[in-house]
Amino acid sequence: MQLNIQNETSRLRAVVLGTAKSCGPTPKVEECYDPKSIQHVIAGTYPKEEDMILEMEAVAEVFKKYDVTVYRPDVLKDCNQIFSRDIAFVIEDKVIKANILPNRDKEIEAIRYVWNKIEKKNRIILPKECHVEGGDVMPWNDYIFIGTYTGKDYPNIITARTNIQAVNAIQELFPHKKIKAFELRKSNTNPKENALHLDCCFQPIGKGKAIIHKNGFLIESDYEWLVNFFGKENMFEITQDEMYDMYSNIFSISEDVIISEQNFTRLNNWLRKQGFTVEEVPYAEIGKQEGLLRCTTMPLIRD
């Protein structure tokens, strides 16, 4: 398989879409990886497997409509394999295995059959000290945008997923790219004050536009850099509640086709006014785990 990912919006040809099958019972609070999941466990509103399966199948149908080749992970018993973006990501012709929370390592085995289709020299495993997840990494033509957290309390922040060692390692792998790292706001306890990944508070979309939430960035100048880069008139600014609902975690099939959650009325209306085709799907149950459409997909090939 010849991988090719240069950006977030070129026409998609092949993708890994996670699976909600056999995702296991509702976790205990201490087993959760993020504050939003904890909130729903405590409230008794944690999503049910059958609902999440239906939501993911709706996305699979959209991919089918646009003639995208879809790979699904092998189903592991009682294992949450919904968020395929966490376990690996593609930049140019290379797939990079994410060094994620150790007890999620088996998830990569479930897509081993995809990994094995890729030329060996293009399968990258970063050194152990590099922590990175795909939700923090965005190839954008000449740039690679990376969300990170460099606070001294990094080891105690379970929501801090990508460290500076990984940022440096990616720069070494792609010396011809401009790496731009952004410090994200993290909280183990308050989902409205937590940008779990860069794509939870920002995402570039087609036609030179982008979606952004200012408070997701720990340093205001990082936010301002992006506003200047894309132009204020091209930014769709989302509120704290909209970030919580995952408005910035939609997914581009092409420059002008976007998959979005059906309840994102304000965003979806704006997108249509900008000339996008919006494929609406139900994804609110998946969203209860602090991830949405971009988190559940791992693009392999774009034109």
Domains of the chain: 12-302 (3.75.10.10)
Do 174 and 201 contact (CB within 8 A), yes or no?
no
pLDDT given for residue 177 in this prediction: 98
CA separation for the pair 244, 254 (Å, rounded):
25
pLDDT given for residue 290 in this prediction: 84
- For every residue of 84-98, DSSP letters joined together read GGGTEEEEBTEEEE-
> What is the mean pLDDT, run by run of 10 residues, along the chain of 303 residues?
98 97 89 85 92 97 98 93 93 91 78 95 94 95 97 85 95 98 92 91 98 97 98 97 96 98 98 98 93 97 98
pLDDT given for residue 275 in this prediction: 98
pLDDT given for residue 286 in this prediction: 94
The number of residues in the chain equals 303
Helix or strand or coil: residue 210? strand
pLDDT given for residue 102 in this prediction: 65
Phi/psi of residue 128, nearest 5 degrees: -55, -35
pLDDT given for residue 101 in this prediction: 65
Helix or strand or coil: residue 125? strand
